[in-house]
Amino acid sequence: MTESQTMHAPDDDYQRDLHPDAGAEQSDERMTTAYECKDAHQRWRHFSDDELKQIPVLVEGTRLRQGSTYLDLYADPPREFRADGGQTAGRYNLYVPKNEADYQVWNRLLGIDNPERTGDE
């Protein structure tokens, strides 16, 4: 084996298969806002335009971050889920990434009406 050749353990390959994005920049989430989505205006009409502008939504074709939590606004009722590897936002998805959303708005989207958790005190 020459100096320019490197050998890696089989475990490295296994870990790379399990975590293909490990060590990679995970900023490939492309977003818009619920305000830009016609369906969101219809479904969430109790939110003002300013509030809809504060709700980040993944653009169709955007890859979800494995292990991250999202809210599916198309589900009835909306539900939280943890992304598996390889998931992407489709045409009929309105995925809100939890790490990008205001926690009070997130709680309102989930139907939580406790004023302490929604900021409506």
Distance CA 86, CA 63 (A): 7
The distance from CA 83 to its chain's CA centroid, rounded to whole angstroms, is 8
**Residue showing tokens 């990679």:** 24
Q: What percent of the chain has pLDDT over 90?
A: 43
Q: If residue 106 lies in a helix (H) or strand (E), which one and from where to where? A: helix 103-109
Residue 35 pLDDT = 93
Confidence (pTM) = 0.70
pLDDT in tens, 9-28: 555 554 544 544 544 434 46
- Residue 67 reports pLDDT greater than 90: yes
Residue 23 pLDDT = 42
**Residue 45 domain-assigned (yes or no):** yes
The CA–CA distances, whole Å, from 57 to 37, 43, 92 equal: 9, 14, 12
Distance CA 114, CA 121 (A): 9
**Residue 99 domain-assigned (yes or no):** yes
**Residue 2 domain-assigned (yes or no):** no
Asked if 35 and 53 count as a contact pair (C-beta separation under 8 A), the reply is: yes
pLDDT: which is higher, 74 or 16 = 74
- Residue 60 reports pLDDT greater than 70: yes
Tokens, residue 54: 């504060």
**Residue 94 domain-assigned (yes or no):** yes
Mean pLDDT of the chain: 79
**Residue showing tokens 């390959």:** 13
pLDDT in tens, 90-107: 988 899 999 999 989 999
**Residue 107 domain-assigned (yes or no):** yes
**Residue 18 domain-assigned (yes or no):** no
What domain range is 55 assigned to? Answer: 29-118
**Residue 4 domain-assigned (yes or no):** no
Question: How many domains does the chain contain in total?
Answer: 1
